[in-house]
Amino acid sequence: MKLALASLLFGSATAFTTTGNHAAVSSTALNARKPFISGNWKLNPQSKDEALTLAKNIASSITDSSPDSDVALFVPYVFIESAMGAVDSKLSVGAEGVCPQINGAYTGAISTAMLKSIGVQWALAGHSERREIFGETDDYINAQCLKIIDEGMAVMLCIGESLAEFEQDLAGSVCAVQLKKGLKGIRKEDLNRVAIAYEPVWAIGTGKVATPEIAQDVHATCRAILADIYDQEAADDVRILYGGSVTPESVDDLMRQPDIDGALVGGASLDSEKFGRIINFQD
């Protein structure tokens, strides 16, 4: 558990905790960034039966000796309700995205109201695959974030640079733009319902995990950007997760970095043994 220096100095603060599928905001005397391990199933698996088995097996890897973390699965809409039933209260099941509009002529879209009506608390926004393949812009992603927060849900905002940008030493600048644009209009008091996932595009699905040092460096930069947008106290409280080819072999060293508060896992979250080991990371 990573203690926020500001909390030591300023006393009480709020922390976001999940209780099953219903995340709650609770007060803590000493704020800490509780580890947050999450899986993003993307366009997988291909059947409800497979989804149920996977969700159940993942949930069974959470035991009394597991780290005290929040665990979430972001799954395709059609599997959300059955996955919730399969995991009981051990982890929360979130959506891979939302439509910023609440109703109307938006064929194929899913609203926050619909998600809330089945008990969904968390949703992703800004994943690089949504940016690149589906053409979601920073403005659209900001509208999603605002809607999710306005509706009382929680958002995991994904950011990260391309390989070309990384090679030109632009990771910090890209993250600054994506953070500033994505979080525009989100108030400091709502940040307890925001998590950031730093996912360098060059590490997603490539097997090329960022070294713990590179990831820590960018996470520290992201925290400094949050301090610039809000203030240091806020920046110290926001959880920043790393995503991009996280495996059982890489998770422990990543989680030992002071500014890495969790992981957003793609491929390895489709294998309950691997994801189970990631949930049971060794700090």
Q: Which helix (H) or strand (E) holds 17?
A: strand 13-19
Q: Which helix (H) or strand (E) holds 26?
A: strand 22-28
Stretch that binds ligand 13P, among 8-16, 27-35, 198-206, 274-282 (CB under 6 A): 198-206
Distance of closest approach, residue 45 Cβ to ligand 13P, in angstroms: 14
Within the chain, where are the H helices? 5-10, 48-60, 80-87, 112-117, 128-132, 138-150, 163-167, 171-182, 212-229, 232-237, 248-255, 272-279
Of the pair 150, 253, the CB lying nearest ligand 13P is at 253
Candidates 127, 136, 161, 233; catalytic one: 127
Stretch that binds ligand 13P, among 16-24, 210-218, 252-260, 262-270 (CB under 6 A): 262-270
- At 67, list the tokens: 């780290």
249 is catalytic: no
Instruction: For residue 276, give every residue at least 6 positions away whose Cβ sits within 8 Å of its Cβ, in sequence order, or none.
Output: 57, 58, 60, 61
Residue at shortest CB range from ligand 13P: 266
Of the pair 216, 269, the CB lying nearest ligand 13P is at 269
| Binding of ligand 13P by 265 (CB under 6 A) | yes
Nearest to 73 by CA among 59, 62, 61: 59
127 is catalytic: yes
> Of the candidates 100, 200, 266, 276, which one interacts with ligand 13P according to CB under 6 A?
266
∠ at Cα 222 (216, 224), nearest 5°?
105
Tell me whether the omega of the peptide bond preceding residue 45 falls within 30 degrees of 0, making it cis.
yes
Distance of closest approach, residue 133 Cβ to ligand 13P, in angstroms: 12
**Residue 151 neighbours by CB distance under 10 Å:** 15
Of the pair 152, 205, the CB lying nearest ligand 13P is at 205
Residue 264's DSSP bridge partners are 38, 243
- Residues 232 to 251 in contact with ligand 13P, rule: CB under 6 A: 243-246
Site string for ligand 13P, 157-196 (x = CB under 6 A): ----------------------------------------
- At 257, list the tokens: 């970095």
Of the pair 199, 236, the CB lying nearest ligand 13P is at 199
Stretch that binds ligand 13P, among 115-123, 211-219, 233-241, 259-267 (CB under 6 A): 259-267
Strands 32-33 and 2-3: antiparallel
- Residues 26 to 85 in contact with ligand 13P, rule: CB under 6 A: 40
> Of the candidates 205, 231, 249, 258, which one interacts with ligand 13P according to CB under 6 A?
205
Residue 251's Cβ-side half-sphere holds a number of Cα atoms within 13 Å equal to 23
Binding site for ligand 13P (CB under 6 A): 40, 127, 199, 204-205, 243-246, 264-268
- Tell me which residues are annotated as active site: 127, 199
